[in-house]
Structures are given as C-alpha cells and as structure tokens.
Amino acid sequence: MGIYNASIALRSSDPAYIGHVTDWFNVLLPKLRPLLYINGGPIISVQIENEYGSFQACDYNYTKYLLELNKKLFVDDVVYFTTDGDGTGYLKCGAINGTLTTVDFGAGNAKKGYRVLNIWNSSFNGPYVNSEYYIGWLDLWGSKHSHVSATAAAKTLDDSLRMRNSVNMYMFIGGTNFGFTSGAPGDNPFRPVPTSYDYDAALTEAGDLTYKYYSIRNTIGKVEFASLIFSM
C-alpha cells in the first residue's frame, strides 16, 4: 500500500489513512476468507496490527476499527489476537478488547515473559502464547551477523512447553529480502536491514539444517513423548 501524503497520520484513525486501509482490506480479506480454518483452510487465527504498543500513536479508535473491519469482512468465529513485547507498557496500547493478547520475547526467562500477561490483567487465564519466539535476530548494515545460541533457544522453548504454553518460532527458516523490501528498525543513526534475512534461524537462508534445528527438534520430541505417556 503506497501513501504519498506526508500529512497523513500513519497507523491512526486519521480518515485519510483509514480510507486507504479500508480500500485495501476490502480487496485482500475476501480473498483470504476461503482459506480460514473454519472454511477448511490453513489460517487458524488472525492478528490485528503488529506490536502496536511500540508505536507512539496509541490510538484506541484505530485498533477498535481494525478489529471491527476484520469481523465484517471475515466472520466473528475466528481467533483474533494481538502481539506485543513482554512489558505492561507495550500491552497498554497494543492489546485490544475482544482479542487474545499474546506476547513476544526471545531466549531467556520464559516464566517472566508470560507472567506479564497476568500483571497486566489479573483475570487473564490464557491460553498463554509467545507469538514471536525469537530464536535468532535480524542483522543490521555494518554490524556483525546476529547469533543466539542453540542451547539458549532450546532451553527457553523447553521451559515454555513444560509450562504447557504455546510458541510460534520467529524465524524458523531464514529468508531473503528482495528489492527494497528489507526495511529498517527506525534507529538513529539509520541502519537498514541487509538483503539477507538469515536471522540465525533453525534453517539457514539457504535451507540448510543447523545445530539449532536439531536442538529444537530434540526439545519438541521430548515433550511429545512425555505427552504420549501422560495420555496413556
């Protein structure tokens, strides 16, 4: 979606911006509707915005409108969710009433990462989801290749699964940013993401298996085996 008017307030309820979003969603979402899980497709849930709690606007009318627009063009019987950093400050503006609130964090203290959901909302009873579990990290132009140890990535995953929480790994497979799609995190000074989005993922940008892949596979394998014994 291209917007060339610098006066438009991005990611807000500015009528000019919302108009473009509505036009685009009116084209995109009907094409995706047959692919929803309830229609026999692979899309099991729909995310509203992305880490909006990290954006300065904090426009509740905007996020409420996005949810209503999705429900209008999809259906009510879909799991809608938000994802934000594991801090109450992020959830203040990122969470949306009527959706599942999820968090994202990398290797480290899994219990602390999920606990913020209860600190933010004492009545929250799950499911507890890390919708972007960072098993690696992106590279920035001029910096060394990012690295997260396989041991740390597998340990936090193991802790999460033992707590019976859900995890979506980001990124499981490295990729490539073509053309001008690489973007930048908004740092000052400006440092763009390079063409490579290898991300130190479990599978490299070239698709090669890594030690991290086998560590993650072994971790998941242990949990599945334990679940089989538990259910017998």
Which of the 8 DSSP states describes residue 209? B
Give which of 22, 106, 133, 105 is closest to 70, Cα–Cα.
22
Q: How far, in Å, CA of 173 to CA of 161, rounded?
A: 20
For residues 48 and 66, is the Cβ–Cβ distance under 8 A? yes
- Where helices occur in the chain by DSSP H, the ranges are 15-32, 60-73, 88-94, 110-120, 150-162, 211-231
* Helix H or strand E segment including 155: helix 150-162
Which of the 8 DSSP states describes residue 188? S
Residue with tokens 């242990």: 222
Question: What residues are labeled active site?
Answer: 51, 132
3-state secondary structure at position 36: strand
Burial class (CB in 10 A: 0-12, 13-18, 19+), 230: exposed
